Amino acid sequence: MEEARPSGAATEQIEAAVSLVKSGNHEAYTSIIHRFEKPMYIYCYHLLKNREEAQDAVQEIFIKAYQDIHRYEPTVSFSAWLYKLAYHHSLNLLKKQQRRLKIVSYFKQQEEATEHIPEPESPLTELLTYLTSEERHILLLKAVEQYNFEEIGQIMDCKAATVRKKYQRLRQKLMEQANKQRRAGGLFAQSNE
Residue ranges per domain, the chain?
1-116, 118-185
Amino acid 192: pLDDT: 40
Residues 6+ positions from 21 with CB-CB distance below 8 Å: 28, 29, 32, 66, 69
Contact 80, 147 (CB under 8 A): yes
> What per-residue confidence (pLDDT) applies to 144?
79
Which CATH class, in words, describes the domain spanning 1-116?
A: mainly alpha
Distance CA 74, CA 11 (A): 11
CB atoms within 10 A of CB 161: 11
Provide block-wise average pLDDT over 10 residues at a time, the chain (193 residues): 60 92 94 95 90 95 96 90 93 81 60 48 71 87 87 90 95 88 60 40
- Between CA 17 and CA 29 the distance in angstroms is 7
> For domain 118-185, which architecture applies?
Orthogonal Bundle (1.10)
